[in-house]
Amino acid sequence: MDNELQSKNTSFEEIINIIDRSRERVFRSVNRELIGMYLEIGRYISEKVKTDKWGKSVVREFSDYIKTHYEGIKGFSPQNIWRMKQFYETYAGNEKLSALLREISWTNNLIILSRARSEEEREFYLLLCSKNLYSSRELERQFNSALFERSMISNEQNQLFIEKSPGLLALRDSYVLEFLDIPERHKEKELRKAIIANLRDFILEFGKDFTLVGEEYRVQVGNKDFKIDLLMYNRDLSCLVAIELKVTDFMPEHLGQLEFYLEALDRDVRKPNENPSVGLILCAGKDVEVVEYALSRSMSPTLIAEYQTHLPQKALLANKLRELRELAEEDGLLDDEDGGAEE
């Protein structure tokens, strides 16, 4: 009888999955049409402002007219109509982003429109939001934590190290863990337990392609057992990610420990269809020069990242990113001049 009930429940769950997939397709289809409509209205209003000098009073009349024509309709306040105009004008002629706009909700589009300061930043959050299906709360959190700036800085600083393994593309050199309720002075055990207790937010910060494999994951080498603080799996890159937690600044000896764990994972845990494991040392602080020295001769796919338990100052990160890009441009100019001299 139990087997019969279990079989029925399995069948019911399969039907539920069919319904859920269908509802998701319907929602996405409706959303695409809705965003397309807002773009069309935005285009029309934009042209009327230019040709017929439409202003606030006319748009207010237009808003009232729509509400009279469609009883109970929402979303056509004068403010929202002006947003449609801004929405259209921001992305007009940008075919690269036009398809992405239709993959996320109007609310999330408005958040990106109001908070992103460049086309590059808008594209970053549009791609991220479309891929991860962020709620508006989750998207706001990523802006508040300056995810764009942190990701760009990480890409600039870790370019050479990332070449060792494509799996390192899933990692950054800094993480914001402001959701952890731990004292300023804390132990590794407290940090680990707080992460597990707030796993949903932790995965949001790391990326929704990550899943937890285990806490204090045990690997056996010879007759001894060793424990990896956190073992994650990245579905997009098909690889295990070993994370070692350090509540102190990074020290070179930390690297040897993690390299040992990666070797054990690849020999004894990794499946044949999976890519080589990658490692992350998540520490309270780091000296960039010490990190560069430590990783320069290491062949292991590993990054050193620092964490902070409060939201960063976005302006400071923006300045740092600008400085890194200016240095990169200067290096490029020097390369060009050297090349010309050699010729």
- What pLDDT does residue 1 have? 53
What is the three-class DSSP state of 212? strand
- Structure tokens, 241: 């990610």
Amino acid at 66: I
- Domains of the chain (ranges, CATH numbers): 2-144 (no CATH), 147-312 (3.40.1350.10)
Helices (H), the chain: 2-51, 56-69, 78-91, 95-101, 106-115, 119-132, 136-144, 147-157, 159-162, 188-197, 199-206, 252-268, 288-296, 314-342
Give the model confidence (pLDDT) of 277-316 as tens digits.
999 999 999 999 999 999 988 888 999 999 999 999 988 8
Local confidence band at 198 (pLDDT 50, 70, 90 cut-offs): very high
What is the three-class DSSP state of 234? strand
- What pLDDT does residue 150 have? 93
Position 158 pLDDT exceeds 90: no
- Asked if 29 and 97 touch (Cβ cutoff 8 Å), the reply is no
Taking the C-alpha atoms of residue 11 and residue 94, their distance in angstroms, rounded to an integer, is 46
- What pLDDT does residue 40 have? 96
Distance of CA 302 to the CA centre of its chain: 19
